[in-house]
C-alpha cells in the first residue's frame, strides 16, 4: 500500500469547530498534546505494522480522537468525522446508518469497543471509491 494522505491538525480543528457550530457543544481544546498524539497514531501504525489497511488506519484516527478527549466537547463527533474524511481523502467512502454510528462512537468513548473492533466496523461499512459516488 502506498502512503496515504494524512489528516492535518488545522483541518481537524476546523472540522471540530464546524461540528460544534452546527450541533452545539462547548468550544475549546482540553489537551493539545492528546490531539497531536491521536493524529500521529495512524501514521505510526502505517510505519511500524505490516498488516495495515485504510479502514484500520481510519479507525485509529477515530478511536484515538474519541478516547483521548483532546477537545472540551465533541470528541465522538470529531472521531467519526476524522474517519470519514480520512477515507474520503484516500478515495474510499464510509457509509453507515446514523443510529449505528451514534451507538458505535458512544461505545468507543465508554471503553466498550476496542480499536480492533472499531476497525472491523469501519471495514464493514467502507469501500474503495470516491465518497461522491453512490
The string of pLDDT tens digits covering residues 25-50 is 989 999 999 999 999 999 999 999 88
- Report the first-to-last Cα separation within the chain, whole angstroms: 25
pTM of the model: 0.91
Q: What is the CB neighbour count within 10 angstroms for residue 89?
A: 16
Domain membership of residue 15 (yes or no) is yes
Domain membership of residue 61 (yes or no) is yes
Phi and psi, residue 128, nearest 5°:
-75, 140
Residue 40 belongs to domain spanning: 9-128
Domain membership of residue 38 (yes or no) is yes
Domain membership of residue 116 (yes or no) is yes
Which position has the grid cell 491538525? Answer: 9
Domain membership of residue 101 (yes or no) is yes
Helical ranges in 24-74 per DSSP H: 32-48, 54-68
Q: What is the chain's percent helix, strand, coil content, to nearest 5?
A: 65, 5, 30
In this prediction, residue 15 carries a pLDDT of: 92
Domain membership of residue 2 (yes or no) is no
SS3 25: coil
Phi and psi, residue 8, nearest 5°:
-110, 150
All residue ranges of the chain with pLDDT < 50 are: 133-134
In this prediction, residue 130 carries a pLDDT of: 67
In this prediction, residue 50 carries a pLDDT of: 83
Residue 2 grid cell: 502506498
CA 9 – CA 34 distance, rounded (Å): 12
Total domains in the chain come to 1
Amino acid at each position: 500500500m502506498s502512503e496515504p494522505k494524512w489528516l492535518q491538525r488545522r483541518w481537524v480543528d476546523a472540522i471540530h469547530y464546524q461540528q460544534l457550530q452546527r450541533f452545539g457543544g462547548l468550544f475549546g481544546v482540553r489537551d493539545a498534546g492528546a490531539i497531536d498524539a491521536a493524529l500521529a497514531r495512524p501514521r505510526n501504525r502505517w510505519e511500524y505494522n505490516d498488516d495495515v489497511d485504510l479502514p484500520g488506519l481510519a479507525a485509529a484516527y477515530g478511536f484515538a480522537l474519541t478516547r483521548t478527549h483532546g477537545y472540551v466537547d465533541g470528541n465522538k463527533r470529531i472521531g467519526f468525522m476524522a474517519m470519514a474524511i480520512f477515507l474520503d481523502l484516500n478515495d474510499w467512502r464510509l457509509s453507515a446508518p446514523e443510529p449505528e454510528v451514534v451507538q458505535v462512537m458512544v461505545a468507543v468513548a465508554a471503553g466498550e469497543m476496542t480499536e480492533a473492533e472499531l476497525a472491523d466496523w469501519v471495514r464493514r461499512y467502507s469501500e474503495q471509491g470516491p465518497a461522491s459516488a453512490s
